[in-house]
Structure 1
Amino acid sequence: MPKLTDAIKHLIIINVIMFATPLLLKMDLTNIFALHLPTNEHFGFWQYISSMFMHGGSMHLIFNMYALWAFGTPLEQMWGKNKFLFFYFSAGLGAGLIYTFVNYYQFNDIYEQLISLGLSSSDIQQILEFGKYNDDIITLSNKTMSEFYSLYHTPAVGASGAIYGVLVAFAISFPDAKLAMIFFPVPIAAKYFIPLIILSDLFFGLTKYSVGNIAHFAHIGGAIIGFIIAWYWKKNQFKIL
């Protein structure tokens, strides 16, 4: 088993504390630390960082922390603590920004459709606050209106965006390492395995087949930023002291 390196050890500790503390104190910190849509009253710029330490459940936390340990350890050993932390937070921040951009685009598209139906901004805000609307006036489908309400109210949590950056960096740095998953136990080289995971996220993010409330575009955003940074570093041997 790989040694637990300093940066990863501290990241795991902070994630566990941020997950356990609200449970032990019976507090809900979602409105403060989870990442909200910028138009939501609970949005704060700090949430791009704080949401990386929030998780929606114990399995969400366990899978992310396992991936951080398994794939991040060789990267920190190769890059060093400071460089790894810079990479990790850059990927996580990029994931949050891209996720926000995609969600805001989808939200604004529906918002403009409602304006074209004759609704005012205050009318739309009433819909967002109470989730009720007049079917005779609003001709958009129930699915579209449900998506509109969800985009506004559902915050994003988790380190998954940063983890996807780590996965991509691992594939670039150790392309021939053999990987396998529980439900697909056939070893595949990282240079093929990781792109397949990202392509599946892209598929689920663009279609209706996604299972559960998963922020696929945050995953893709983290993968994109992770690829750019890891590829640049590999080509230029960039150093952070």
Structure 2
Amino acid sequence: MITYVLIGVTALVSWLAFKDRKLADRLVLWPPAIDRHKQYDRLVTYGFIHADFPHLLFNMITLYFFGRLVEKLMASITGHWWVYLLFYLSALVVSILPSYLKNQKNPNYLSLGASGAVSAVLFAFILVSPWSLIFVFFIPAPAILYAVFYVGYSIWMDKKGGDNVNHSAHLAGAAYGVMFMLLMEPGLLQHFLQALMNPSFGL
């Protein structure tokens, strides 16, 4: 399954980058490298390295629980295994674009981590199953309520700043996850609205 491959590759590359500063420097999203040296691959590679082990673990656990379900759904709708891979890789690009464009001339800006793409996966799942219970710091909560909190918190922190977390990428990834699913299967909007009006809690 593609989700397992993504987790394996991300974990391996992140682990190697933890020990090799040159590798991390080459893969991280650094706007001048793209603007001056045309290293456009950084718009994807930044998502395969992480700041530290907890950062990596949180993203990969989230991807493990929700990525497998989204992958199966996309394959069942389209009949193609590669659609989910395209979705994840394009989510890396789309989620970082607002930050990149804003900091295109900023030599002090760096960004790394799969959070934007993982947000896309998570919100694609929420669109399909809004009342499923997900565990937030081991506390069960309906997915849709978590989504409202997540978006509100990300908007607030993006404006506030100061915590070295790219909340803009989280928001862009979340929006992309929803839009990708709706473009792939427009009927999911009606499904979501019906599900929203008929709460059914469960895993």
- TM-score by length of structure 1 reads 0.69
How many angstroms does 1:31 deviate by? 2.6
SS, match of residue 135 in structure 2: strand
Q: 2:137 aligns with which of 175, 182, 185?
A: 182
Q: 1:28 aligns with which of 11, 15, 22?
A: 22
Alpha-carbon distance change, 175 to 86 in structure 1, aligned in 2, over 3 angstroms: same
Q: Alignment RMSD, CA only?
A: 2.2
Name the residue aligned to 2:68: 73
8 A Cα contact 2:17 2:24, kept in partner = no
Q: 1:235 aligns with which of 186, 198, 202?
A: 186
Alpha-carbon distance in structure 2 between the residues aligned to 1:155 and 1:99: 10
How many angstroms does 1:16 deviate by? 1.3
Alpha-carbon distance in structure 1 between the residues aligned to 2:55 and 2:167: 14
Alpha-carbon distance in structure 2 between the residues aligned to 1:234 and 1:175: 16
Alpha-carbon distance in structure 2 between the residues aligned to 1:49 and 1:88: 10
Q: 2:107 aligns with which of 139, 144, 152?
A: 152
The percentage of aligned residue pairs carrying the same residue is 24
Name the residue aligned to 1:60: 55
Alpha-carbon distance in structure 2 between the residues aligned to 1:227 and 1:75: 12
Q: Which amino acid aligns with 2:136?
A: M
How many angstroms does 1:64 deviate by? 0.4
> Which structure carries more helix by proportion?
2
Alpha-carbon distance in structure 1 between the residues aligned to 2:132 and 2:108: 41
- Higher RCO (Cα < 8 Å, 6 or more apart): 1
Deviations 1:5-60 (A, max 9, x none): x1011101111111122345x44323311111247757721100111101110011
Deviations 1:67-112 (A, max 9, x none): 10111111112222322112111211101212212334xx6xxxxx
Q: Which amino acid aligns with 2:40?
A: F
Alpha-carbon distance in structure 1 between the residues aligned to 2:21 and 2:146: 39
Q: Which amino acid aligns with 2:183?
A: Y
8 A Cα contact 1:7 1:85, kept in partner = yes
How many angstroms does 1:180 deviate by? 3.0
1:172 paired to 2:127:
yes
Alpha-carbon distance in structure 1 between the residues aligned to 2:175 and 2:112: 19
Unaligned runs of 5+ in 1: 1-5, 108-150
1:96 paired to 2:103:
no
- TM-score by length of structure 2 reads 0.80
Q: Which amino acid aligns with 1:223?
A: A
